[in-house]
Amino acid sequence: MNILITGGTSGLGKNTVEILANDGHQVYFSYLATEEFVTVAKQMERNFDNVKGLSLNFCESESVDVFCSSIKDLGIDVLINSTYVGKPQTTYFHKISPEDISRSFEENIIPTIKITQAVLDGMKKRRFGKIINIITEAVIGLPPMGYTIYVAKKAYLMELSNILNKEYTRYNITSNCILPAYMQTKFAEVDERILEQMQIEHPLKELLTVEEVSQCIKFFVDASQQVNGVKLPINAGTKLMM
């Protein structure tokens, strides 16, 4: 299958690209054109004949529009919405300006919507498609302090997935969500003392890894189209969806 994953040069995105490429899929991934990520993208292309990186800056609307135009003819069968601009933890709600909230939505939600719309037309014509949204377990119950913007945006995407289920199941297009717990990556680094405490309090005494989440993404890629509308928490049962 032709697979597109947004954000493929670090953490969960990079690991997922590698796992799916090893399965023989044609994998496209987006990357921010910094020196570091360009180097990683080129190395991934050298490592896999079936992997192709595409430059994309979520914070520039022109870049998003060019990207959307470039993917329309790729015959994308699976879209994995993974990119997030910013850090999950910021500050208390009352300290965040409306302008900062608006900017964050513009830099995260709008690009994701545009990219999803860009691939949906082809999926409808082929009457096949899979959309996999990376959410967060923080949408379950009470989120951590300072997660105002992050959780609000992820909750929006999860509800958007419900709408996609309603409108596009008749075209044989599925939309599923993965809700991973904390993973130790550059995206969500915490102080070593906090990290140690999190491990002590974890029921398995081991924090979730990107490899474990990537395997769950692979499950949705491989799954029957009967698997649709699923919200899958990956958190050792510490939070349950009711």
Query: Rounded to an integer, what distance in angstroms lies between the CA atom of residue 44 and that of residue 62?
Result: 26
Domain boundaries, the chain: 2-234
The pLDDT score that the predictor gives to residue 189 is 62
Q: Which of 83-92, 108-117, 216-225 is least confident?
A: 83-92
Q: What is the pTM of this model?
A: 0.91
The per-residue pLDDT of the chain, averaged, comes to 91
Segments in the chain forming alpha helices (H): 11-22, 35-47, 61-71, 98-126, 148-168, 192-201, 210-222
pLDDT tens-digit map of 174-211: 999 999 988 776 666 655 666 667 677 777 777 889 99
pLDDT tens-digit map of 102-152: 999 999 999 999 999 999 999 999 999 999 999 999 899 888 888 888 899
Using a pLDDT cut of 70, give the percent of the chain over it.
94
Query: Rounded to an integer, what distance in angstroms lies between the CA atom of residue 228 and that of residue 226?
Result: 6
Q: How many residues does the chain have?
A: 242
* 3-state helix vs strand vs coil in the chain, percent to 5: 50, 15, 35
Query: Rounded to an integer, what distance in angstroms lies between the CA atom of residue 153 and that of residue 67?
Result: 22
Query: Rounded to an integer, what distance in angstroms lies between the CA atom of residue 171 and that of residue 91?
Result: 42
The packing angle between helices 148-168 and 98-126, to 10°, is 20
Q: Compute the average pLDDT of residues 211-231.
A: 96
Per CATH, the number for 2-234 is 3.40.50.720
